[in-house]
Amino acid sequence: MLESILIAVGVTAGIGAVVGVILGFLGEKFKPETNEKLEAVRGCLAGSNCGGCGYAGCDAYARAIVNESENPSLCVAADVQRLSEVLGLAVSEVEKKVAFVRCSGTCKKTNENYNYRDREECRIAYLAPGHGSKKCPYGCCGFGTCAANCPYDAIRIVDGLAMIDDTKCRACGKCTEVCPNKLIQIIPYKAKYVVRCSSHSKGKDVRMACTEGCIGCGLCTRVCEHGAIVLENNLARIDQSKCTGCGKCAEKCPSKIILKR
């Protein structure tokens, strides 16, 4: 019994050893000419093959950097300092960004003016009176043109409003291009407070159209100690470079459209 087990172990281990020796020999003999620069660049990249740069993997991206002089700052997780030393260039660090929908008008919050009956496509709905059937002419049509164009499957239409999954979004900007209302913006990932509305209507009209909308009262601009909020054409806008994330604006906002992310 013991003998047969030992034989089995011996045979398997023996084959493994022989195979290992052969592989090692072959690997040595057929060593591809290594490109030192390529190896060095490859070493600086993240190595997780996430595909965030748009290439099939880190190897492919490293090849593109070396052979096709691709922009070397596409990798989010690269060792920037070493990479710039290897390439002899100044490589800027990539700021992580994310897409954000500037509207909070779900089906419950905004009403419909009429029954829209045409192709369910935002860019067509936009041509209808009032930019679609929702009362707010600035809001999300909710037909998901952005979702259909998202290469990372990061957008879902929930209750008539586009929702972005921050974990999937890579801020490629495809959705910003197709949204007829220009609702989607690329914002810094670390942005703490955002204005979730893009209505330029007067306060009264906003109230009529949607229970959650910027009425342009300007309370936030007054409470902000850092001057990060400005009122532009009846709509609050947060300057993310000045915002410290104190949260006073969100506390004061009467329509609750300044939200913590």
Partner 1 sequence: MNTFTKILIEVLAASLVNNVVLSRFLGLCPFLGVSKKTATAVGMGTSVTIVVTISSAVTFAINKFLLIPLNLTYLRTIVYILIIASLVQSIEIIIRKKIPSLYNALGVYLPLITTNCAVLGVCIDSAQKSMTFLETMVYSVGTAIGFLIAIVLMSGIREKLEFCNVPKTFRGMPIVLVIAGLMAIAFYGFTGAL
- Nearest CB to partner 1, comparing residues 8 and 107: 8
Regarding 23 and contact with partner 1 (CB under 8 A), the answer is yes
* Tokens, residue 48: 């997780």
Regarding 81 and contact with partner 1 (CB under 8 A), the answer is no
Contact present, 90 and 80 (Cβ < 8 Å): no
Beta partners for 236?
A: 231
Q: How far apart are CA 261 and CA 242, in angstroms?
A: 16
Q: How far apart are CA 171 and CA 165, in angstroms?
A: 11
* Tokens, residue 137: 């002419």
Contact letters for partner 1, residues 49-78 (x by CB under 8 A)? -------x----------------------
Pairing relation of β-strands 161-164 and 155-158?
antiparallel
Q: How far apart are CA 16 and CA 29, in angstroms?
A: 20
Least gap, CB of 1 to partner 1 (angstroms): 13
Q: How far apart are CA 258 and CA 226, in angstroms?
A: 16
In one letter, which amino acid is 22?
Answer: I
Phi, psi of 9 (to 5 degrees): -60, -45
Least gap, CB of 167 to partner 1 (angstroms): 23
Least gap, CB of 232 to partner 1 (angstroms): 40
Regarding 17 and contact with partner 1 (CB under 8 A), the answer is no
Question: Which residue in 6, 12, 77, 182 binds partner 1 (CB under 8 A)?
Answer: 12
Regarding 151 and contact with partner 1 (CB under 8 A), the answer is no
- Nearest CB to partner 1, comparing residues 25 and 114: 25
Q: How far apart are CA 163 and CA 199, in angstroms?
A: 18
Q: H helices within the chain, ranges in order?
A: 2-29, 36-44, 58-67, 80-87, 122-125, 145-149, 174-178, 203-209, 219-223, 248-252
Regarding 30 and contact with partner 1 (CB under 8 A), the answer is yes
Contact present, 52 and 152 (Cβ < 8 Å): no
Question: Which residue in 26, 77, 89, 127 binds partner 1 (CB under 8 A)?
Answer: 26
Question: Which residue in 7, 89, 107, 127 binds partner 1 (CB under 8 A)?
Answer: 7
Least gap, CB of 4 to partner 1 (angstroms): 7
Contact letters for partner 1, residues 201-220 (x by CB under 8 A)? --------------------
Q: How far apart are CA 220 and CA 254, in angstroms?
A: 9
- Nearest CB to partner 1, comparing residues 32 and 88: 32
Regarding 158 and contact with partner 1 (CB under 8 A), the answer is no
Regarding 19 and contact with partner 1 (CB under 8 A), the answer is yes
Total binding residues for partner 1 by CB under 8 A?
Answer: 17
End-to-end Cα spacing for the chain: 66
Residues within the interface to partner 1 (CB under 8 A): 4, 7-8, 11-12, 15-16, 19-20, 22-23, 26-27, 30-32, 56
